[in-house]
Amino acid sequence: MTGREVASNLREISQLLQLKGENAFKVRAYELAADAFDALPPDPAAAGGLQERVRLRTLSELSGVGKAIEQKVTELVETGHLEYLDKLRLEFPPGALELTRIPGLGPRKAAALIKELDVASLDDLEKAAQEGRIKGLKGFGPKSERQILEGIAQVRARSGKKPLWDTRPQAEKLLDRVRATPGVARAEIAGSLRRYAETNSDVDIVACGTPVEPIMEAFATAPGVVQIIARGGTKCSVKLSDGLQADLRVVTTAQFPTALHHFTGSKQHHVKLRGLARDRGLTLSEYGLARIDGGEALPVASEADLYRHLGLAEVPPELREDLGELELAARGELPALVQMEDICGYVHCHSTWSDGNASIEEMVRAAKALGAQFITISDHTQAAHYAGGLDPERLKRQWDEISEVEARVGGIRVLRGSEVDVLEDGALDLPDAVLEQLDVVICSVHQRFKLDEDAQTARIARALRHPLCRIWGHPTGRKVSERPEMAARWEELIALAAEQGVTVEANGSPHRLDFGADLLRLARKHGCKVSCSVDAHSTRELGNLHYAVGTARRGWTERARVVNARPPDEFLAMLRSGHPTQLMPTPGLAR
């Protein structure tokens, strides 16, 4: 059993406890513990991994893991099941948790529907809504009934797709296995994963090399493969243990650029691109670019070469969605997107002072080892009591430790920050006298997600107007495939953030990806500054950076608007400035 599997069980307990109506502290305890197990080494047999901690009985040393949860996890790992979870499951119909996936429904209302209407699945609930049995219940009405039907349709549309935080790590493990096979010249992740789509229906990998058979065998026998769906001369399809399908295509070296491009997608982008090829008398397929009249194939050494043959600038994978990128490529006007190597520092990092799993020094040393020029320590504030939030006195004591660590480690700036709760009325959770002494103020909503659109918009607007609000943290409050975004007038708030000079966050926590690409495109329209943040609660989660950058690129985010794509002094100056175009680009960190 892996730490990730333990985390999945703990999150299921948290969701079932919400259905039971248990208090928020108990529910949150299991969520925090799940985060701690997610942060363990992927290999349970590694040093400091799950197996060692269970054997040595040191699970309670993890942040957020108390003795009670340690006992439950030990039972789960040693026996393969957990009696406490088994009993919880028996209290609800098998499809109960599926109901909580309906946007806007939530565990409390789902529990009411289960109790009052005896529904046990999406089908049951859909039938009840169609028969008009929901609108008569206390707390529901005709509007609720319509929204539930719309939500069921959304859940079904997503069925078969898994979130990026689930699919990307599996794809990377398969890619590493393929690349390690003798004879492989190149191999890359393709499909919607390469485009950093938030959800994915499968994993696609394209490789070239000889001999082919050992490459296919390595893929077909990879850890986690439970079934070979199909296996031919150049393609192998398998099913992984969680039901995800993974496909490998092995092509020749000459075919690799066009095959990678073809299997990256999107379909809409390809349809338009093939039309542009036909206009030039060419035919485009996974096998290459050739003349329609039967002449020799054109040499394509890279994806950039492919676009060049069609009179276009190269379109980055994240932009290939037919949202106007080909028209801009034809004019040479594609945005200069932010890249991983541009990022100079890690923004939005937690430590053991609140709900992090690593000390300040551990976080700083890990960031320095990754080549960062700075890191911001931004633990929660007192309103986030479930996360050990800091009151002003504890926060000031933390500053002393930050100064000591910065001096001791050397070679990296450690900035004083805080993730300040936005209270229900829009006030910030720290007095101005304290906020003024911080380098970085991240303002985030963590509670009262269910306010109506007007109230939520007014709440966030008040926070954005605060003169010391620097970064708007995970703005919509959503969690991918787990919790919908809050109801608010987002473009109105984005325009206000731009007007106030507030930076919006591209939060790289793979469970959040907030703002998502659609709202980041709106942020671009209004000229907002953007922070590619990691929201890291452990040293391992500093690796969330690629999720932030990938999502930012998918949202058409130029490097010039990214605040942490510059050294610390310029980062701080840009946070306090107005429009991002007032600053000249500065070379970033080469990793």
Identify which of 324, 382, 327 has the alpha carbon closest to the alpha carbon of residue 353.
382
* Residue pLDDT, tens place only, 273-282: 999 999 999 9
Q: How confident is the model at residue 400 (pLDDT cuts 50, 70, 90)?
A: very high
Pick the range with the lowest mean pLDDT from 22-31, 267-276, 569-578: 22-31
* Residue pLDDT, tens place only, 72-90: 999 998 888 899 998 988 8
Residue 497 is predicted with a pLDDT of: 98
pLDDT higher than threshold 80 for residue 294: no
Can you tell me the mean pLDDT for 223-234? 92
Name the average pLDDT for the chain. Answer: 91
Can you tell me the mean pLDDT for 333-344? 97
Residue 386 is predicted with a pLDDT of: 83
The secondary structure of 342-374 as a DSSP string is: G--EEEEE--TTTT-SS-HHHHHHHHHHTT-SE
DSSP 306: H
Highest mean pLDDT among 20-24, 91-95, 146-150, 198-202: 198-202
pLDDT higher than threshold 70 for residue 473: yes
Residue 284: phi and psi, rounded to 5, are -115, 130
* Residue pLDDT, tens place only, 363-373: 999 999 999 99
pLDDT higher than threshold 50 for residue 589: no
DSSP 18: H
Where is pLDDT greater, at 280 or 581? 280
Residue 265: phi and psi, rounded to 5, are 80, -165
> Do residues 424 and 380 make contact, with C-beta atoms less than 8 angstroms apart?
no
Q: To the nearest whole percent, how much of the chain has pLDDT over 90? A: 68
CA distance 356 to 535: 10
Residue 151 is predicted with a pLDDT of: 83
pLDDT higher than threshold 60 for residue 383: yes
Can you tell me the mean pLDDT for 341-362? 96
Where is pLDDT greater, at 79 or 526? 526
> Do residues 398 and 377 make contact, with C-beta atoms less than 8 angstroms apart?
yes
Residue 156 is predicted with a pLDDT of: 67
> Do residues 69 and 105 make contact, with C-beta atoms less than 8 angstroms apart?
no
Q: Is the dihedral of CA 415, 419, 420, 426 positive or negative?
A: positive
Residue 100: phi and psi, rounded to 5, are -70, -10
Residue 585 is predicted with a pLDDT of: 35
Residue 588 is predicted with a pLDDT of: 36
* Residue pLDDT, tens place only, 549-566: 999 999 999 999 999 999
Residue 492 is predicted with a pLDDT of: 97
Residue 591 is predicted with a pLDDT of: 23
Q: How confident is the model at residue 420 (pLDDT cuts 50, 70, 90)?
A: very high
Residue 256 Ramachandran class (φ > 0 left, ψ -120 to 50 alpha, else beta): alpha
pLDDT higher than threshold 70 for residue 401: yes
pLDDT higher than threshold 50 for residue 582: no
392 CB burial (10 A radius; 0-12, 13-18, 19+): middle
CA distance 195 to 175: 16
Q: Which amino acid is at 294?
A: G
> Do residues 340 and 545 make contact, with C-beta atoms less than 8 angstroms apart?
yes
CA distance 445 to 381: 11
How crowded is residue 173: how many other Cβ atoms within 10 Å of its Cβ? 16
Q: Could you give the domains of the chain?
A: 3-90 (1.10.150.110), 96-158 (1.10.150.20), 162-253 (3.30.460.10), 257-331 (3.30.210.10), 340-379+415-582 (3.20.20.140)
CA distance 533 to 506: 6
> Do residues 348 and 420 make contact, with C-beta atoms less than 8 angstroms apart?
no
Residue 157 is predicted with a pLDDT of: 64
Residue 413 is predicted with a pLDDT of: 98
Pairing state between β 288-291 and 345-349: unpaired
Kindly report the three-state secondary structure assignment for every residue of 368-409: HHCCCCEEEEEEEECCCHHHCCECHHHHHHHHHHHHHHHHHH
Residue 432 is predicted with a pLDDT of: 97
Pick the range with the lowest mean pLDDT from 225-239, 307-321, 576-590: 576-590
CA distance 46 to 95: 36
